[in-house]
Amino acid sequence: MDIYSKKTNFKFILLIAAAAIGIATVTYTNYLASKISVEEKRKAKLWADAIEKRARLLSYTYDLFNKLAKDERQKVQVWAQSTKFILTVEDNDLLTFFNDIITTNNNIPVVLADESMQILATRNVEYPGVDTIKKLEGKLMKEFSAYPPIIVQYRNNRNFIYYKDSNLFQELKNNLNDLVAKFISEVVVNTTISPVILTDEKGSAIAYGNIDSTKINTPDKLKVAIAGMKENHEPITLELGDMEKKYIYFDDSVLLKQLRWFPYIQLGIFGIFILIAYFAFSNARKAEQNLVWVGMAKETAHQLGTPISSLASWVEYLKETEALKGSEHILVELDADINRLTLVADRFSKIGSAPKLEEQTVDTLLDRNIGYMQARISTKVKITKVVEDADLSVEINDQLFDWVLENLFKNAIDAMEGEGRIEVRAFKNGRDAVIEIKDSGCGIPRAKFATVFEPGFSTKRRGWGLGLSLTKRIVESYHSGKIFVKESELGKSTTFRIELPRA
């Protein structure tokens, strides 16, 4: 009867089913994540294309403004040359022509000053009190310092023409700067939910969006973040017209990353739930088994009580008659067996109740059980005993612990098929008293070291697999000890080890 093997096969089937469900979940979620990733990349490409087109537009606008600035400078150059001619030419027609050139300048602010910075003339200058200012200095000088002055040589004197961008050009330039700022803002804001970093050619961050600032607040952290983004997506290169390239680095959205991790988190939660359910059902099953053990044991003790009492009465009757005269030893053995049956019934009655423990030396305990077994087994089985400390003692319940040793001896005899030797050894090990029982039997596979104590496990065709299970329960539950297979070699020997707290 191999109940344990059936249970193991059932667990294996459940494990395969759980693994299949897990693999299917991960596969399908990764499939969904891949589809979302493709969609995000498509949107990012559309967004990048739109950004590039707008960047080209800005580049064209920059070129236009550069041409306007160049035209204004050329106008100032012409104006300066005209001023020079006015000061040197005596031909009235030519003088009128150059004077017209000067007066047609209606938008470029200019200031004519001599070498001592005395203002000689102004045109298109909108500055508070400019008509009363005699010298080019202070704030007025700062306003006209954007470009180097044009020198006008007149005989032995040198005059200087200072100029700046026209009001119209300055207004357009400010609008362009606002446009660039808004463009940069849109680059990092209008990117749905993807993390974005905009950098210059040197790798310094200009703007960013959808990313924790603490992850890029130092140059090293910024390099790490950019390197991570670059592994997943190639950066988008922009030229905004200022002769420097800008780079847009972007990454998958947090949602997509979470979706990729979701199946593994789900499997983890699923696994934890299975473990909790397994332990809950296992504990419930053990509690139910305990109730069955207790009920069965007490019922067995009750059923044995009547025939044992009857047998005891018959033995007493035979002692008083002359029927077995000369064979009194038979009555002695019958009496011993009846006492043993009474002990067995008492053992069963104690299952489920807190047993009374009494101090006893290990030497006495072993002598009693070895003597009882040796008188009832084949002479081909030899039992030897070695107790290293005669005073070694433990607190046990005689009836229950004798059951433990009896089961171990019987198992050893069965393993040796009625022929061999059993070595019993007892010694101290720290705070424990150790009893080792070694037989010369067929051995136990290492994979079965733990399962031999499971209810239902048996190597015998007619076995129920309850002996070692009861043994383990008595040692661990009632005596706070341990029992396990210490070592075993197939075809040679097996050693069981019992550890009990010393008295």
pLDDT tens-digit map of 352-384: 666 788 999 999 999 999 988 888 788 888 999
With a CB cutoff of 8 Å and minimum separation 6, the contacts of 297 are 348, 349, 351, 352
In a domain, 295, yes or no: yes
- pLDDT of 166: 73
- Same domain flag for 247 and 311: no
Please check whether residue 223 lies inside any domain of the structure: yes
Residues 157 and 178 in one domain: no
Instruction: State residue 83's pLDDT score.
Output: 60
Residue 343 sits in the same domain as residue 387: no
Give the domain range for residue 300. 272-353
Looking at the domain assignment, is residue 490 inside a domain? Answer: yes
Domain at 407, CATH number? 3.30.565.10
Whether 262 is in a domain gets the answer no
Q: Which of 123, 147, 168 is the last residue of a domain?
A: 168
Which of 134, 168, 202 is the endpoint of a domain? 168
Model pLDDT, residue 101: 42
Contacts of 56 (CB under 8 A, 6+ apart): 239
pLDDT value of position 484: 93
Q: Do the Cβ atoms of 215 and 195 come closer than 8 Å?
A: no
Q: How many domains does the chain have?
A: 4
Do 307 and 212 share a structural domain? no
- The verdict on 372 and 317 lying in the same domain is no
CB 179 within 8 Å of CB 185: no
Tokens 């009836």 belong to residue: 399
Q: Do 139 and 234 belong to one domain?
A: no
Q: Are residues 361 and 490 in the same domain?
A: yes
- The runs of H, that is alpha helices, within 126-166 are 138-143
3-class DSSP state for residue 15? helix
Report the CATH number at residue 77: 3.30.450
Within this chain, do residues 131 and 7 fall inside the same structural domain, yes or no?
yes
Res 17: pLDDT: 77
* Low pLDDT (below 50) residues in the chain: 1, 89-102, 462-464
The verdict on 440 and 341 lying in the same domain is no
Q: Whole-angstrom Cα distance, residue 485 to residue 437? A: 10
Q: Is 495 found in the same domain as 394?
A: yes
Q: Tell me, yes or no, whether 263 lies in a domain.
A: no
Query: Is 267 inside any structural domain?
Result: no
Q: Quick one: which of 84, 133, 136 has its CA closest to 111?
A: 136
Same domain, 417 and 462: yes
Distances in whole angstroms, Cα of residue 218 to Cα of each of 101, 199, 411: 56, 14, 73
- Pick the last residue of a domain from 213, 228, 254: 254
Residue 361 and residue 336 share a domain? no
